[in-house]
Amino acid sequence: MGDLKHLLESIRLIAAFDEKERITHLRQDRWIDYPRAARVLQLLNEMHETPQRNRMPCLLLHGDSGMGKSMIIEKFRRAHPTVYDRKTGVEHYSVISMEMPASPSQRRFYAQLLQTIHAPYRPSDRLEALEFTTIKLLTVIKPRILFVDEIHNLLSGSPREQRAALNLLKFLANKLNCCIVVSGTQDALATLQSDDQMVSRFRPFELARWKENDEFRGFVQAFEKTLPLRQKSGLGEQPFVQALLAASHGVTGSIAEILTGAARAAIRIGTERITVDLIRAEAGLLAAAIV
Ligand SMILES: Nc1ncnc2c1ncn2[C@@H]1O[C@H](COP(=O)(O)OP(=O)(O)OP(=O)(O)O)[C@@H](O)[C@H]1O
Ligand SMILES: [Mg+2]
């Protein structure tokens, strides 16, 4: 089987498993570090550590669908779990992570936020009551960061609803003195940037599609180390890099799907290494599935 030096130590063990077990392992989520994600996580950490003050920093994380925005948020949230205070019976969230509702009315927003923190509420409550309960609870919970993912859902609302939702975000940031991080696709960017206060308050950070550069080579090399194949594929080499970028259009999610699919095929047919042909075949399957 060779020394398996091309794999992470924790994966070397798995490479010895049989076909079925290795294919099951491929289905698991994997987190690959890369510089832009590390930069976002660092920014989030700085925000999390910012002492409470009047104008807390806010962030707008944007990028095309599948670029890994939600994965970054989830990674950060998992590193900051809730803490239950036995004395007061209060669950303290230093990080609250919710999604903009698909139809973004203020009522739905508050309802979703209350659901996220497991707070009881009556869906029939008036907007003022929902707002009052939310502010009251969050003042006790004192979150440091509130994430609102899928911010592009704003666009399904009328212009009036869109404005109301943006005002609500600014209102919460001011009222709670907490950092707000909104994230979503580029579609929402124009709407967010049409509001001067949003522009001055929310620092934009883009997760751009991958291009052919050292950062991308590093990403696919790191990905290879997590795939339990017994032979080295050398994914950082030019033909792989070009085939992957052409097939995925630089989208992280597609790259991950193509690589895990190609690894599964390499295990099944026994090549034990990914080839450019396997990547092209997987890309064809992916394209057929999308049509
Ligand atoms: N750091 C990472 N390591 C490994 N795989 C990743 C990473 N980031 C993203 N991926 C892959 O990309 C897929 C899409 O990521 P994610 O759902 O976070 O994208 P998104 O930007 O939130 O997309 P959308 O705008 O559609 O919600 C993930 O399911 C995963 O397969
Ligand atoms: Mg997402």
Tell me the C-alpha distance between 146 and 148, whole Å.
7
Asked if residue 62 belongs to a domain, the reply is yes
* pLDDT band per the 50, 70, 90 thresholds, residue 291: low
3-state secondary structure 184-199: ECHHHHHHHHCCHHHH
At residue 182, the pLDDT reads 96
- Predicted TM-score (pTM) of this structure: 0.94
Q: What is the pLDDT of residues 163-180, one digit of tens each?
A: 899 999 989 988 898 999
The residue out of 177, 206, 235 marking a domain boundary is: 206
* pLDDT band per the 50, 70, 90 thresholds, residue 205: very high
How many Cα neighbours within 13 Å face the side chain of 45?
Answer: 8
At residue 120, the pLDDT reads 87
Shared-domain flag, residues 176 and 61: yes
* Among 60, 169, 163, residue whose Cα is nearest residue 109: 169
Helix H or strand E segment including 123: none
Give the domain extent around 52.
35-206
Shared-domain flag, residues 96 and 189: yes
Shared-domain flag, residues 243 and 172: no
- Which whole number is the average pLDDT over 139-161? 92
At residue 37, the pLDDT reads 97
Q: What is the domain count for the chain?
A: 2
- Which whole number is the average pLDDT over 90-111? 91
Percent of the chain with pLDDT over 90: 73
Asked if residue 182 belongs to a domain, the reply is yes
How many Cα neighbours within 13 Å face the side chain of 73?
Answer: 25
The residue out of 143, 177, 206 marking a domain boundary is: 206
Q: Ligand 1 centre from 219 Cα, in Å?
A: 13
Q: 4: alpha, beta or left, given left = phi > 0 and alpha = psi -120 to 50?
A: left
At residue 194, the pLDDT reads 84
Asked if residue 217 belongs to a domain, the reply is no
- Which whole number is the average pLDDT over 109-138? 92
Asked if residue 213 belongs to a domain, the reply is no
The residue out of 206, 237, 265 marking a domain boundary is: 206
At residue 55, the pLDDT reads 85
C-alpha dihedral sign at 44, 46, 52, 57:
negative
What are residue 266's phi and psi, to 5 degrees?
-65, -30
Shared-domain flag, residues 110 and 156: yes
Q: Which atom of ligand 1 is nearest to the CA of 257?
A: 31
- Which whole number is the average pLDDT over 212-216? 97
Structure-token pair, residue 99: 């999604």
Mutate to test the pocket of ligand 1, among 8, 62, 70 (most ligand atoms within 8 A of CB): 70
The CB-based long-range contact list for 187-191 (8 Å cut-off, 24+ gap) reads 187/152, 187/155, 188/62, 188/151, 188/152, 188/154, 188/155, 189/60, 189/62, 191/154, 191/155, 191/162, 191/166
Percent of the chain with pLDDT over 70: 99
What are residue 132's phi and psi, to 5 degrees?
-60, -45
DSSP annotation of 147 reads: E
CB 114 within 8 A of CB 130: yes
Average pLDDT score over the chain: 93
Q: What is the pLDDT of residues 4-17, one digit of tens each?
A: 999 999 999 999 99
Shared-domain flag, residues 56 and 193: yes
Asked if residue 15 belongs to a domain, the reply is yes
Asked if residue 152 belongs to a domain, the reply is yes
At residue 27, the pLDDT reads 95
What is the identity of the amino acid at 198? M
Shared-domain flag, residues 83 and 195: yes
Shared-domain flag, residues 59 and 199: yes
Asked if residue 83 belongs to a domain, the reply is yes
Mutate to test the pocket of ligand 1, among 252, 254, 286 (most ligand atoms within 8 A of CB): 252
Shared-domain flag, residues 45 and 25: no
Shared-domain flag, residues 110 and 248: no
Shared-domain flag, residues 26 and 60: no
Answer whether residue 286 shows pLDDT above 90. no
Shared-domain flag, residues 23 and 45: no
Supply the CATH number for residue 111's domain: 3.40.50.300
At residue 152, the pLDDT reads 93
Asked if residue 157 belongs to a domain, the reply is yes
Taking a 5 Å cut-off on Cβ, the residues next to ion ligand 2 are 70
Q: Ligand 2 centre from 255 Cα, in Å?
A: 16
CB 272 within 8 A of CB 266: yes
Shared-domain flag, residues 132 and 179: yes
